[in-house]
Amino acid sequence: MTGAVQQLTTDDGTPLKAALARTGRRARIRALLLVSPLLLFVLVTFAAPIAQMLYLSIHNPVFSDNMPRLSTWLRANPIDDVPGEAAFEALVLDLKEARKKRTHAQVGTRINYERAGSTSLFKSTARRVKKIDGPPYKEQMLAINKAWGELHLWTVMARAAHPHTAAFYAQALDLAFDDKGELTRAPEERRIYLLLFERTVFLSMLITLLCLILGYPVAHLLARLPLRYSNMLMVLVLLPFWTSLLVRTTAWITLLQSQGVLNDLLVFLGLVDDAGRIQMMYNQAGTVIAMTHIMLPFMILPLYSVMKSVPGDFVRAARSLGAGPVTAFVRVYLPQTVPGIGAGALLVFIISVGYYITPALVGGSSGQLISNQIAFHMLTSLNWGLAAALGAILLFGVIVLYWLYDRMIGVDNVKLG
Amino acid sequence: MNAKKPIAIAALSLGVSIGLALQAQAGEITVVSWGGAYTKSQIEAYQKPWMAKTGHKIKSVDAPNPAAPIKAQVKAGNVSMDVADLEYSDAVRYCDEGLLEEIDAAALPPAPDGTPATEDFIEGGLTDCAVANIVWATVVAYDASKFPDNQPKTIADFFNVKKFPGKRGLRKGAKPNLEMALMADGVPAGEVYKLLGTPAGVKRAFAKLDAIKKHAVWWEAGAQPPQLLADGEVAMTTAYNGRIFNAAISEDKPFKIVWDGQILDFDLFVIPKGAPNKDLALDFIKFATGTKPLADQARYIPYGPARKSSASLIGTYQDGKTEMAPHMPTAPANMKNALVNNFEFWADRDTELNERFNAWLAAN
């Protein structure tokens, strides 16, 4: 049967299908060439650094690279007690070499992430280890510092001997390895990250909700006013959007602090007395107020663009058919603005989850978010592995929420403008 | 969202690298310091005279903590700064991790009377990679107008909100709050670090901090505490002594310092490994940490010079009438109950105690 159909060809005899495919391919390559600068730019400056950063969360070769003999030994032999001569010999030789290459402190820092006191242990031992030039190694090392006979130290080193580690993720989830290598919850006074993840999600949702409540009527007003008024009002929405973030945050400090404008006004009006000034700053309230203000344009703009395209006739038709104002709004107008609500809420929530500078400035202690801890580990403690693990968990959480949103509301429904 | 952090770092290094781009011709070095009145004092006392003497130029860059960009730059192999001003613990840690050039202390100029540099510097002021320029202190300062009758006199008063009501400003971090808490709890300066090395000591320090947690406002940059005091946001705060002096003398604020239980620390000059103008950087450090420039700097901000030979040369403040000597953290009258920061302790316990501090802070 197939042979019966006459194959379509172009003038020069090539099958039409192949010719079409060729031109199609050419067009695609041309299109790809056009976007390639941007693609390359995004890959080099955005995707690659993020991937590299994420890799840091599971990969830390500091110990295995700089203590090669000991690492090999530790990988080959399970640690259930403090090991004997062979391990100590490897330790002494590696430490001597690390001391020469000035890497012993990095090694100590790596172990110090999981066992406090290791930085100075490695540093002081490295200074004195050159005196050891023969067995018995274990005895001499214990004479330098008896901490070398500590099982906990050896289990930490045994885990560090593998360049790939789950230790940073464990720490980021408030877990710790015990001496048997099993995961347990971290001691209570050191649990922090789960609390902060929880708080970040809760506050971001609260901010999203507040933005929606405040932004919805504004967007509606903007969409319904005649153009010359709405343009003017639009400038009022956009002006803060164009103003530097730091300026806006600092302005909120001036307004909200206990000797600030708002409290002064309340005292002047006699609503509170001078001693009872309200603490609106350096706590969660400060974070929520300032961030809601900063996020508002991200809610209003998508809402506005959707509402602009909703014809007023539908609501009028509903009213003329006997629906009350509430019914007309809930059953006719609101469903048509859902794409705008979805877009605005998604934008505000995702930006809030990773927000860092405003909580740092106005959040005090109770208004800190997880991103402040990430910044702390990036810039102050320089524990990039932990920072990367925290960042990866945050990224994963956002992707899961995005997926949930897609399942429940549908991303196709989102309209950004 | 998750990209914010790398971007923050990138922005930070970019800020510093712009300095590099501008210094294409030979004879210009980039010096990174802490900003504000402190950088100004360094420009007046070190940088201007060095530029006048050698004809080279200096690009002065401010950073919230000059230590932060060093690790990123050295690891990336793209160092744009020549000299950085670091805290002791960072200088020692970075040196051990091989992020800094070594500086031969014997090559530093001797004191005017011929005392070699190695003996002229205050003990601990010279390390393998760093040369100290100042001794500074974290002190307790208060707004005198808030306590007209009964003024705070000891570190314990800072933790006593019943007797001295009002909000408290504290640095957001374990150091030096834990030390101060123990001293306020009656621990003598000499025993603070020994006690803090034990679980019971740490517990005791946090218990003391609990007493003012509800009243605390946390600051991060050195410029914040005088601002908090000036705004009336806090009645008392821990602060760097130089910042309080500047606010009190040049801006005429009623701020006073409680010279009890303060923590002394060095600031040191270092050269990051792979600095583009290493030789000029070393020349600048040799000049800046000479006896006279160190004494001159103390005329602009009351941080103690790191050389003993500078002490007798300290003059008056730039207003021409305020004697600087009594405002120095190293003045004998101010040293009665002072603690010298133990960098070895913090190199070991930094991770653990800051984690615990952060957990304590985040919990309501």
Query: B254-307: per-residue pLDDT in tens?
Result: 999 999 999 999 999 999 999 999 999 999 999 999 999 999 998 888 898 998
At B21 the pLDDT is: 47
H/E stretch holding B58 reads: strand B57-62
Test B358 with A374 for CB contact under 8 angstroms: no
Test A190 with B355 for CB contact under 8 angstroms: yes
Burial class (CB in 10 A: 0-12, 13-18, 19+), A152: middle
Test B5 with A375 for CB contact under 8 angstroms: yes
Test B233 with A116 for CB contact under 8 angstroms: no
Distance from CA of A191 to the nearest CA of B (A): 6
For residue B56, how many other CB atoms are within 10 A of its CB? 15
pLDDT at B18 over 70: no
For residue A91, how many other CB atoms are within 10 A of its CB? 24
Residue pairs spanning A and B at CB distance below 8 A: 124
Are B244 and B254 in contact, with CB atoms under 8 Å apart? no
Alpha carbon distance A334, A341 (integer Å): 9
Q: Which of A44, A198, A365, A383 to mutate to test the interface with B (most CBs of B within 10 A)?
A: A365
Are B254 and B331 in contact, with CB atoms under 8 Å apart? no
Test A354 with B2 for CB contact under 8 angstroms: yes
Q: Would you give the DSSP letter of residue A46?
A: I
Alpha carbon distance B48, B60 (integer Å): 11
DSSP A385-397: HHHHHHHHHHHHH
pLDDT at B10 over 70: no
Residue A94, CB-side half-sphere exposure with 13 Å CA sphere: 25
Report chain A residues whose CB lies below 8 A from the CB of B232: 258-259
pLDDT at B24 over 80: no
pTM above 0.95, yes or no: no
Residue pLDDT, tens place only, A140-162: 999 888 899 999 899 999 999 99
- Taking CB atoms within 8 Å and a gap of at least 24, the contacts of B125-128 are B125/B266, B125/B268, B125/B306, B125/B307, B127/B91, B127/B92, B127/B95, B127/B268, B128/B95, B128/B102, B128/B103
CA-to-CA separations, A249 to A207, A243, A356, A363, in angstroms, rounded: 16, 10, 12, 11
Confidence of residue B160 (pLDDT cuts 50, 70, 90): very high
Alpha carbon distance A228, A55 (integer Å): 53
Average of pLDDT values for B34-55?
91
Are B205 and B196 in contact, with CB atoms under 8 Å apart? yes
Alpha carbon distance A217, A237 (integer Å): 13
Confidence of residue B82 (pLDDT cuts 50, 70, 90): very high
Q: Please, which residues have CB within 8 angstroms of residue B117's CB and are 6 or more apart in sequence?
A: B105, B106, B108, B109, B110, B111, B126, B307
Alpha carbon distance A2, A320 (integer Å): 62
Alpha carbon distance A303, B148 (integer Å): 56
Name the residue with higher pLDDT: B105 or A181: B105
At B157 the pLDDT is: 94
At B241 the pLDDT is: 92
Distance from CA of A398 to the nearest CA of B (A): 9
Alpha carbon distance A140, A135 (integer Å): 8
Report chain A residues whose CB lies below 8 A from the CB of B91: none
Residue numbers in chain A where pLDDT is lower than 50: 1
Alpha carbon distance A82, A387 (integer Å): 32
Q: Which of A54, A102, A195, A357 to mutate to test the interface with B (most CBs of B within 10 A)?
A: A102
For residue B204, how many other CB atoms are within 10 A of its CB? 18
Q: Where are the alpha helices (DSSP H) in A277-367?
A: 284-308, 313-320, 325-327, 334-353, 357-362
Q: Which of B2, B99, B233, B237 to mutate to test the interface with A (most CBs of A within 10 A)?
A: B2
Return the bridge partners of B61, or none.
B32
Residue pLDDT, tens place only, A304-317: 989 988 888 888 99
Q: Of A365, A374, A387, which is closest to B361 when you measure between CB atoms?
A: A365
Alpha carbon distance A52, A388 (integer Å): 9
At A177 the pLDDT is: 84
- Using a pLDDT cut of 90, give the percent of chain A over it: 40
Alpha carbon distance A274, A251 (integer Å): 22
Q: With H, G, I as helix, E, B as strand and everything else as coil, classify residue A334.
A: helix
At A9 the pLDDT is: 80
Confidence of residue B2 (pLDDT cuts 50, 70, 90): very low
ipTM of the assembly? Answer: 0.74
At B6 the pLDDT is: 52
At B27 the pLDDT is: 84
Nearest CA in chain B to A187: B356
Test B8 with A378 for CB contact under 8 angstroms: yes
Q: Which of B282, B336, B323, B298 is closest to B135 using CA atoms? A: B298
